[in-house]
Amino acid sequence: MKENLNITENEKKALIDYFSGKLTSEESGLLNNWLEKSEGNKLLFDQMTDIWQASHFTRINDKINMEDAWKEIQDQLSKENKKPIQSWVRLLKVAAVLILVFILGGIGHALLHSKPNIADPFLVEYVAPLGSRSFVKMPDGSKIWLNAGTTLSYNSHFGIENRAINLSGEAFFEVEKNPALPFTVQTSELNITALGTKFDVKAYSEEKTIETTLIEGSVRLEGNNFKLTEDVILTRNEKAIFTKHSKSVDFIDTNQSLKENETVPKQESGLKIITSIEPDPIISWKDERWIINNEKLGSLSQKLERRYAVNFIFDNELLKEYSFGGTLEDETLQQVLDAICSSSPIKYVIEGKTVYIMSDNQKMGKFKHLLMK
């Protein structure tokens, strides 16, 4: 089978790098030329795409061995070509391949102009439903973790003309460096631009604030359709809390930085910068060990609603003022609620997808002094 493929070593590498999301601009041109050599190459690419998507190489793996990957493709091609295939089905698949290559792969600006209908950009969208979290590896190699209830979208020309993504919800980013194409996260009111960095953005539509926490590198914050009163650049272990519909910028004293669960004074508005924060509790939602640092039940219940796809109802608003802290490791909702009950004067009832939080009068006197003012 190998001698019939007529593919050079460089073309093999370009194919493997394309499938694994590591295609360079030089390889893009090489792969494009190979596809244009014949209809047979386009048909072969279609077969290899199906094989790759069904293979174990599609798992997250930064160290794919080219020879092993190519051998598996050859073995599967040998099996595939023994099956009778109707010509009209193959023609349809060839059309699908052209769309995949020209748009998702971003291969060849010449083809972009010669086949405008095929190359027209479209929106790519990923959704992490309530009760789940997701991982996305972008075409440029950047890695994104999506928290529950999050939608991420970007233009299919991502990595060619720009690296802009739209976010509603919460995501953690590990951005690949590319000074020529800055990586920008666009939220409802705030844009966050980074060059080779790690950061968290929390921008749920139903919440009044947009939060950005920087772990490594630096990011620049700008208004989406307005200009902030000052240019804002976050550095390592800084957190920005932006109140929607505001433009002013305030800085929290470094020596009196807020704890994760504390809120910015209500009389102040705009963008608050908090320095010297402890990032682990903020970004641990994406890991197996979820760290909760003395957080009020009011805000914690919102996170639990997304994480477990439930709805919380409190019979007394004062119960939202009790706080809870601890480390959770893949606990069920019931186990989490049991832990909260052990440190708060509450009890709960779960009915379907609704959690009712009620006062435990027997414990109320004991815990009353712990209410956060």
| Domains, the chain, ordered by start | 2-119 (no CATH), 123-279 (2.60.120.1440), 288-370 (3.55.50.30)
219 or 66, which is more confident?
219
% of the chain surpassing 70 pLDDT: 69
Work out the average pLDDT over 327-356: 91
Dist. CA 84–CA 331, nearest whole Å: 50
Dist. CA 199–CA 239, nearest whole Å: 10
Instruction: Quick: pLDDT tens for 185-243.
Output: 999 989 999 977 899 999 999 999 999 999 999 999 988 877 777 778 998 999 999 98
Q: In the predicted model, is pLDDT for residue 29 greater than 80?
A: no
> Which residue type occupies 216?
E
What pLDDT score was predicted for residue 330?
A: 80
**If you search the block for the tokens 């631009």, which residue do you land on?**
193
Work out the average pLDDT over 41-59: 65
Which has the closest alpha carbon to 244: 271, 217, 221, 262? 271
What value does the mean pLDDT of the chain take? 77
% of the chain surpassing 90 pLDDT: 37
Residue 145 and residue 135 in contact, taking contact as beta carbons nearer than 8 Å: yes
Tokens of 34: 């190979």
Question: 31 falls in which pLDDT band (50, 70, 90)?
Answer: confident
55 or 145, which is more confident?
145
Helices (DSSP H) in the chain: which residue ranges? Answer: 2-5, 9-19, 25-37, 39-54, 66-80, 87-99, 109-114, 116-119, 280-283, 297-308, 333-342, 361-367
What pLDDT score was predicted for residue 160?
A: 86
Instruction: Quick: pLDDT tens for 160-171.
Output: 888 999 999 999
Dist. CA 163–CA 168, nearest whole Å: 17
Work out the average pLDDT over 25-54: 73
Question: 121 falls in which pLDDT band (50, 70, 90)?
Answer: confident
291: Cβ contacts below 8 Å, ≥ 6 apart:
280, 281, 284, 327
Least confident of 40-44, 132-136, 318-322: 40-44
Dist. CA 319–CA 370, nearest whole Å: 11
Q: In the predicted model, is pLDDT for residue 28 greater than 90?
A: no
